[in-house]
Amino acid sequence: MAGFFDKVKEKISSLMDESGDSAFIADVKKRAAALNKHIVLPEGEDARAVRAASEAAKQKIARVTLLGNREEIEKANPDVDLTGVTIVDPAKSEKRAEYAALLYALRKAKGMTEEEADKLSYDNTYFGVLMVKAGDADGLVSGACHSTANTLRPGLQIVKAAPGVPLVSSCFLMVAPEEGNQYCKDGVFVYSDCGLNENPTSEQLSDIAIISAKTAEKIAGLEPKVAMLSFSTKGSAKHADVDKVTAALALAKEKAPDLDIDGEMQLDAAIVPSVAKSKAPGSKVAGHANVLIFPDLDAGNIGYKLTERLGGFQAVGPICQGFAKPINDLSRGCKWQDIVATVAITALQAQM
């Protein structure tokens, strides 16, 4: 028995680099490091963000700015080496007044006063997003100790969606725990939308599918095969929820005719070849899907957490899709390693 467990540990360790990363995450970091992007972390009050800033700088994944009071950060994290990390206190920054003026210019039509803009410019998250908007940083990662709304509201108000992108959505990269997982030949799935849009319409679902395929290609390095998930496969059930998914599929095919996408289908038909043969014969996607589009936030959130907790996959995200410049929200249950991985992904998005 001991020999068996030794072999298992040896197999897992062979997939990890010296920092404990999977081969997939190590490759993401390597690609990000080549870009030399500048990423801002607003949560200097959170020990995980501080450690992540240190590690990202040490591994040269990106140039990192951490927001907060230097003395307080160093006092609270005496064992963390912050060499190579730029620390900026918004309250003392020479840029703050400039950013307040920028915020006022962007929001005055919505009723924001100069006084309100000035007050918000002291907030770490608003300050960080304004850095990105002004071109002083390439992207932002936040949310370790703040709500999704606290991170995304400034992003939507200031950076906004990219031209031609009708909505901002989110996805998770679900990294398989071991090479050769029988249902994850590529080593990673893209799950969407698992963190933002509660009950997307057919139109919104089609847009989520298309942008998630781009994330799969540009960030995960996949040749996207997109499955529109449902509790029905190819008309096996009749319901308004099924109709929403089939309508989304038709719209996605119209908008992106070259995309490998199919549905509606159940999860097993999407990823299990033997099931796909009986439930969706002739489909190029069924049995081989690597981008899974969930019909609503209930299904997506439950699905990614089941995969993470019971399947042993690493959940990287939520990764926001559709901002004009990358703004990424973290799970409040994240580890510092997750923040480092998200910094790398944000750098790759900045290149997109």
User: What is the DSSP secondary structure assignment for residue 213, as one 8-state letter?
Assistant: H
Place of tokens 């870009």: 35
Per-residue pLDDT for 234 more than 50?
yes
Reported as a pLDDT band with limits 50, 70 and 90, residue 290 is very high
Distance between CA 337 and CA 67 in Å, rounded?
19
- Coil, helix or strand for 85? coil
Note the pLDDT of residue 19: 54
Distance between CA 95 and CA 125 in Å, rounded?
14
Note the pLDDT of residue 148: 78
Per-residue pLDDT for 1 more than 80?
no
Reported as a pLDDT band with limits 50, 70 and 90, residue 18 is very low
Query: For the chain, how many helices (H) and strands (E)?
Result: 14, 11
Report CA 109 to chain centroid distance, whole Å.
Answer: 31
Distance between CA 86 and CA 189 in Å, rounded?
34
Q: Quick one: tokens of 197?
A: 């849009």
Q: Quick one: tokens of 137?
A: 């940083």
Per-residue pLDDT for 11 more than 70?
no
Please report the sign of the dihedral spanned by the C-alpha atoms of residue 335, residue 341, residue 344, residue 345: negative
Model pLDDT for residues 37-58, shown as the tens digit of each residue = 999 999 989 899 999 999 999 9
337-352: average pLDDT = 92
Model pLDDT for residues 63-116, shown as the tens digit of each residue = 999 999 999 999 999 999 999 999 999 999 999 999 999 999 999 999 999 999
Note the pLDDT of residue 180: 55
Note the pLDDT of residue 187: 86
CB neighbour list of residue 266: distance below 8 Å, 6 or more residues apart: 229, 230, 231, 232, 233, 279
Per-residue pLDDT for 196 more than 90?
no
Distance between CA 203 and CA 247 in Å, rounded?
8
Residue type, 40: V
Per-residue pLDDT for 12 more than 60?
no
Contact yes or no for 294/192 (Cβ under 8 A): yes
Contact yes or no for 265/278 (Cβ under 8 A): no
Distance between CA 244 and CA 12 in Å, rounded?
41
Average pLDDT, the chain: 89
Reported as a pLDDT band with limits 50, 70 and 90, residue 263 is confident
Distance between CA 133 and CA 7 in Å, rounded?
50
Choice between 220 and 4, residue whose per-residue pLDDT is larger: 220
Q: Quick one: tokens of 228?
A: 């529109």
148-155: average pLDDT = 86
User: What is the DSSP secondary structure assignment for residue 161, as one 8-state letter?
Assistant: B
**What phi and psi, each to the nearest 5 degrees, are found at residue 159?**
-80, -40
CB neighbour list of residue 328: distance below 8 Å, 6 or more residues apart: 139, 140, 141, 142, 143, 317, 318, 319, 320, 342, 345, 346, 349
Per-residue pLDDT for 4 more than 90?
no
Residue 221: left if φ>0, alpha if ψ -120 to 50, beta else—which one?
A: left
User: What is the DSSP secondary structure assignment for residue 281, as one 8-state letter?
Assistant: T
Note the pLDDT of residue 6: 40
Reported as a pLDDT band with limits 50, 70 and 90, residue 13 is very low
CB neighbour list of residue 159: distance below 8 Å, 6 or more residues apart: 129, 132, 133, 323, 324, 325, 327
Per-residue pLDDT for 61 more than 50?
yes
Per-residue pLDDT for 156 more than 70?
yes
Place of tokens 């850095």: 131
Note the pLDDT of residue 179: 60
**What's the predicted TM-score (pTM) here?**
0.84
Buried b (16+ CB within 10 A) or exposed e, 172-181: bbbbbeeeeb
Helix (H) or strand (E) holding 19: none
